[in-house]
Structure 1
Amino acid sequence: MSRIEQSWQTRDWFARLLWPISLVYGLLLRLRRLAYERGLIKRHDSRLPVIVVGNLSVGGTGKTPLCATLVERFQRAGWRPAIVSRGYGGTRHEQAYLLNAEDTAATAGDEPVMLYRQTGVPVCVCVNRAAAVEYLAEHTDANLIFSDDGLQHLAMARTADIMVFDGIRGLGNGWLLPAGPLRESAQQIASADLVAIQLPFTGNGNEVVGNLHQSLRQGDVGNVLQASSQQCFQLVPAELLNLVSGHSLTLDSLRGQRVHAVAGIGNPQRFFNSLEAAGLLVEPHPLPDHHEFTLADVSFSDDMPVLVTAKDAVKLTGLTDLPHSVHEVRTRVNLSVELAAAIDNLEQSLRE
């Protein structure tokens, strides 16, 4: 964790030094939102309902795996969903670009490629998400759009906002960037149609456990979240897939063994903790989010298994001479009863 990320969890001298800049940033955010609300900047409406799955804070919250789960859940309810994304980390697409089976993280971004492979639904990337929504409406049979991230993309009209939080880090010190981790004021939580809180995996995949960060309980924000405090989910490591042979094995088969864990995601420690909770002895190798992998990142002098996230696996499959020791950790998303009910209520409201 970098020095600035450490300060985001407290209000130490470093965060206080940056606080005046946060005030300016907050003022600009309010003026921008007001411009959209007053019609001074045009918002692009969509003929299809759009559900945004995003987060207020910088860093990983589990929104992309949750987005994939929402797609599957709405499919079972009879919807034909599609996904839009900015495509961060891939080729910058000024025009809407529909993913195909040949796309890689380099051409479309790691998260869109992962979502495309996991869900099989149309995925469209564009720096202008509203243009991607319009493209899907015109060129596919989708009748519902999920936006992976995009809470701050105000040009894109939306039917519902789903805000995802990390239950451990919460809102950090509660301050806006750069003094804190927030991309928007915490008061925006009140406008969310659904709140989902990711709690840590502790080895029991049948229960949602853990405690919310104290910042989620403070002041008006705590009051807003009180009704949603049980709307939780976990990312549970389920099985391993060898990226060279394609063979799968259970995570339990490595219980008690030492492994290399490599993660280039928003919160690598969450991945390491989940493996340790599953009984593995982890040698952690954290990398920056959206890291561009090379063979050196997953090549080690010993013969210990190398475990990577699903998001990182889409970048590794394109490398030649990949070590046979590299495995993707496939996860399942466990929803609390309360979160599942809230999702079902949202689906029903869209249907009505």
Structure 2
Amino acid sequence: MTALERAWYTKQWWCYLLAPFSVLFWLLSTLRLFLFKAKLKASYRLPVPVIIVGNISVGGTGKTPFTLWLCQFLREQGFTPGIISRGYGAKLVAPVLVTPEHTATEVGDEPLLLAERSGCPVVVSPNRVAAAQYLLQQCPQVDLIISDDGLQHYALARDIEIVLIDGQRGLGNGWLLPAGPLRELPSRLAQVDLVIANSGQQPLADGNMSLKALQAVPLRADDMALKPNAKVDLIAGIGNPERFVRSVLNAGYQINTRRFLADHHPFSASDFIGLTTPILMTEKDAVKCRGFAQAGWYYLAVQAQPDPQVINKLTEKLSLIRSQYGY
């Protein structure tokens, strides 16, 4: 976490020096939204329903584990979902259908993880409309699209908006970027269909979600299992590493050293110099480290567990989708 990010969530006075830039950010984002609402800029509606899984703050809020849970839940409800994603950090000139042969550098770490874990087709492109169109062209069996992030990508019309917020850190100081962590004002939460607090209670949320640590998995297939209660060195390049720390401790492991890097960090072997095995990382980071993984490197898989309030409200929204689309 950078010094600026810490200031947002500890409400340091000096980050408010950036307030004029936040006002400019608000003016530009408000103008952009007005253009879409006034139909001066077009929103494209797909022939299948679209669910947005996003947030109004920067940094990790648990979108990836929730999206994995949502894919399974939708299949249980009789849908055949597909996923579109921006592919953060990937240099893309056209939509790409993610395959096992791709690397995180080519398609992004989160899309690669989603493709491997969800069992759903995943297409990446900075243009989400183009990504969705390509997904339906390549996978005509898909009858519902999940947009990973994209809450502010108004060019794509949506049927359900789901926003995750950090149950521990909340919305920080409540200011827009760069004086605070927000992409949109907190009032935006009143306009979405479902607000979920991850790993904590938040008054703005409709329900809560917890993350259950599953197991430590070796990056190398020939490696031995990690012993229970093992002492580990941590490394992570995610938006909220403290949540990872809590998951590791809840899984029963002890922590020697912690090394936290920027979110979506492009890992290389040099990042591990000075760490002692066993080394434990997140699953999202592990997809970037397989090509140079050493013995004694592990990742901790987690599973989202939404509470009944979330499930009930989502079920109601899906019933409306069925009636609207004749499913």
Counterpart in the other structure of 2:319: 348
Equivalent runs, 1:136-285 vs 2, <5 Å: 136-140=135-139, 141-199=141-199, 210-212=200-202, 217=203, 225=204, 228=206, 231-245=207-221, 249=225, 253-255=227-229, 257-282=230-255, 283-285=257-259
Counterpart in the other structure of 1:8: 8
Greater mean deviation of Cα atoms: 51-60 or 236-245: 236-245
TM value normalised by structure 1? 0.87
Counterpart in the other structure of 2:63: 63
| Paired residue secondary structure (2:25) | helix
| Paired residue secondary structure (2:315) | helix
Q: Which amino acid aligns with 2:316?
A: N
Whether 1:327 and 2:309 are equivalent positions in the alignment is no
What is the CA–CA distance in structure 1 between the aligned matches of 2:181 and 2:138, rounded to whole Å?
38
Q: CA deviation at 1:299?
A: 4.8
Q: Which amino acid aligns with 1:297?
A: D
Whether 1:111 and 2:110 are equivalent positions in the alignment is yes
Q: For 1:307-327, what per-residue CA distance to the aligned partner results, in whole angstroms no more than 9, with x for missing partners?
A: 1111011111122xx211001
Counterpart in the other structure of 1:125: 124
Equivalent runs, 1:301-312 vs 2, <5 Å: 302=276, 304-312=277-285
Question: Contact 2:228–2:253 (CA<8 Å) still a contact in 1?
Answer: yes
Q: Which amino acid aligns with 2:3?
A: R
Q: Which amino acid aligns with 2:170?
A: G
Q: CA deviation at 1:11?
A: 4.3
Give the RMSD, CA atoms, in angstroms.
1.7
| Paired residue secondary structure (2:298) | strand
What is the CA–CA distance in structure 2 between the aligned matches of 1:112 and 1:165, rounded to whole Å?
20
Q: CA deviation at 1:248?
A: 7.4
| Paired residue secondary structure (2:120) | coil
What is the CA–CA distance in structure 2 between the aligned matches of 1:306 and 1:76, rounded to whole Å?
36
Q: Which amino acid aligns with 1:241?
A: V
Count of equivalent residues: 321
Q: For 1:173-222, what per-residue CA distance to the aligned partner results, in whole angstroms no more than 9, with x for missing partners?
A: 111011110001111111111111101xxxxxxxxxx443xxxx5xxxxx
Question: Contact 2:213–2:250 (CA<8 Å) still a contact in 1?
Answer: no
Q: For 1:46-71, what per-residue CA distance to the aligned partner results, in whole angstroms no more than 9, with x for missing partners?
A: 11111010000011000111011101
Query: RCO higher in 1 or 2 (8 Å CA, sep ≥ 6)?
Result: 2
| Paired residue secondary structure (2:305) | strand
Question: Contact 2:163–2:195 (CA<8 Å) still a contact in 1?
Answer: yes
Q: Quick one: structure 1 residues 301 and 162, their matched pair in 2 at CA, closer, same or farther if it must change by over 3 Å? A: closer
What is the CA–CA distance in structure 2 between the aligned matches of 1:165 and 1:8, rounded to whole Å?
15
| Paired residue secondary structure (1:315) | coil
Q: CA deviation at 1:243?
A: 1.0
TM value normalised by structure 2? 0.93
- Give 1:290's match in structure 2, choosing from 264, 267, 274: 264
Question: Contact 2:71–2:118 (CA<8 Å) still a contact in 1?
Answer: yes
What is the CA–CA distance in structure 2 between the aligned matches of 1:178 and 1:193, rounded to whole Å?
27
| Paired residue secondary structure (1:84) | strand
Q: For 1:210-259, what per-residue CA distance to the aligned partner results, in whole angstroms no more than 9, with x for missing partners?
A: 443xxxx5xxxxxxx26x1xx11111111121111266747xx431x320
Q: Quick one: structure 1 residues 287 and 293, their matched pair in 2 at CA, closer, same or farther if it must change by over 3 Å? A: same
| Paired residue secondary structure (1:173) | coil
| Paired residue secondary structure (1:60) | coil
Q: CA deviation at 1:10?
A: 4.6
What is the CA–CA distance in structure 2 between the aligned matches of 1:245 and 1:137, rounded to whole Å?
35
Unaligned ranges ≥5, structure 2: none
Unaligned ranges ≥5, structure 1: 200-209, 218-224
Q: Quick one: structure 1 residues 310 and 11, their matched pair in 2 at CA, closer, same or farther if it must change by over 3 Å? A: closer
Q: Which amino acid aligns with 1:111?
A: E
**Percentage of matched positions with identical amino acids:** 39
